[in-house]
Amino acid sequence: MLDGSHSFDHHATVKIGILSDIHGNFDALRALPETFDEVWVLGDLVNYGPQPREVVDQVSRTAAAVVRGNHDHAVTSSEDPKWKPRLARMAETTRQFTVAALDRRQLDFLANLPTSLELTRAGVRFHLTHATPSNALRGWCLPDSDAWDAEVARISADVLLVGHTHVPFVRQVGPTLVVNPGSIGQPKTGDSFARYAVWKNGEVSLRSFTYPLDVTIGKIEALGFPQDVTEDLVALLRTGTLPEWKVLEGRE
């Protein structure tokens, strides 16, 4: 389903799939409804979802470019992950599960991911990072925030690609097009659609699709997490929200 598009001045024939925030949801990842010349992943391959091993292996085999997200960092670092209070129990429970599920090779892959990348395709300069240029892992900047002006001023790129908030948008900020593809694995926009973006022939499109959600939920329920954690994970997948969330601020 095509949600929206934005024309770009440059022209190219390369079709790039831009994914973010897969969060261990392998069923959503493998249900992508189209193929690409290149796949770029903007971080958070793991946590929350039931199949981190499969996601890491798929991304490591097929993605042309990958940056590290805060959840990838959390499973490979001894630093305080600084979870948001409402999500701390869910994030920490699934972090412990993910660490135990991944082997050394997979953990090393996540640990060695860069926090940002600069790529050029057909004369178009792209800057890839998980959150924001000023805070690659945890910066929080919503679509209509005035803070984007300062963020794009920090880079030299035609297109800034970010994830982290799970909120898809395309916005021109000065000379730079800012694109967030949304989340493949854990929507937070009030529905259950998996989301991604496509760059092709000078056009950026936001797209969404359905996947076998009940299969994923069954895998989560089989993991034996505490009941409240399981209920929250299922609620996010089914509804794209938690009951008490009234605004986007503070989600992670």
Judge whether residue 70 has pLDDT over 60. yes
pLDDT over 50 (residue 3): no
pLDDT at 188: 92
- Do β-strands 176-180 and 169-173 pair in parallel, antiparallel, or remain unpaired? antiparallel
Instruction: Please write the tens of the pLDDT for every residue from 198-239.
Output: 999 889 999 999 999 999 999 999 999 999 999 999 999 999
**Residue 201 confidence (pLDDT):** 87
Residues contacting residue 58 through CB under 8 Å, at least 6 positions apart:
26, 29, 30
Residue 119 falls in which region: left (phi positive, over 0), alpha (psi -120 to 50) or beta:
beta
Of 6 and 196, the structure prediction assigns the larger pLDDT to 196
HSE-CB of 24 using CA atoms within 13 angstroms: 26
Question: Radius of gyration (Cα) for the chain, nearest Å?
Answer: 17
Contact 161/126 with Cβ under 8 angstroms?
yes
Whether 2 shows a pLDDT value over 70: the answer reads no
pLDDT given for residue 245 in this prediction: 63
What is the share, in percent, of the chain residues with pLDDT greater than 70?
Answer: 92
Burial zone of 34 (CB within 10 Å; 0-12 exposed, 13-18 middle, 19+ buried):
exposed
Residue 126: which residues within 8 A CB-CB, separation 6 or more? 117, 118, 119, 120, 157, 158, 159, 160, 161
Tokens of 13: 């024939």
Residue 175's H or E segment, with its range, is none
Residues 213, 237 contacting (CB under 8 angstroms): yes
**Could you give the domains of the chain?**
2-116+180-239 (3.60.21.10)
Tell whether the model's pLDDT for residue 252 goes beyond 80: no
